[in-house]
Amino acid sequence: MRFARPTARFDDVVTFYRDDLGLAVLAQWRDHDGYDGVVFGLPDAGVQLEITQHGSPPAIPPPHPENQLVLYLRGEQALRAAVDRLSARGHRPVAPTNPYWARVGAVLFEDPDGWLVVLTPWVFGEDSSAG
């Protein structure tokens, strides 16, 4: 399964997801029929996030608090490692609009386009206490 979304800040977004968040790059291209793109594994090749940039200037929809990429991490230690990595690279957590995320221990960050990445210390469907 692959989810795709546009960006207006391609290089910054690639750096955020690849270097800051640590996702694997599965494919990347420049100027393929006018598109720049990258595919990240979430966290492997079974589920993918594709980011594309097209146009001059690129036109993207404005971010909305419900545009979220939710990454389910396995435990507090995994969550802390991700939060520490992002914080060390200059990113700061943001308050969720939906109080559910704070209640279940998630931490949110904005990517360079202002889209939200939700990091949880539990895996949906595996931890019954998280719902």
Letter for the amino acid at 78?
A
| Lowest mean pLDDT, pick from 43-57, 62-76, 97-111, 116-130 | 116-130
Contact 34, 56 (CB under 8 A): no
Strand order in the sheet with 35-41: 2-6, 48-54, 35-41, 25-32
Residue 45 scores a pLDDT above 90: no
Q: Residue 128's pLDDT is what?
A: 59
Given this model, what pLDDT does residue 129 score? 61
Contact 18, 40 (CB under 8 A): yes
Over 90: is that where the pLDDT of 126 sits?
A: no
H helix and E strand count, the chain: 3, 7
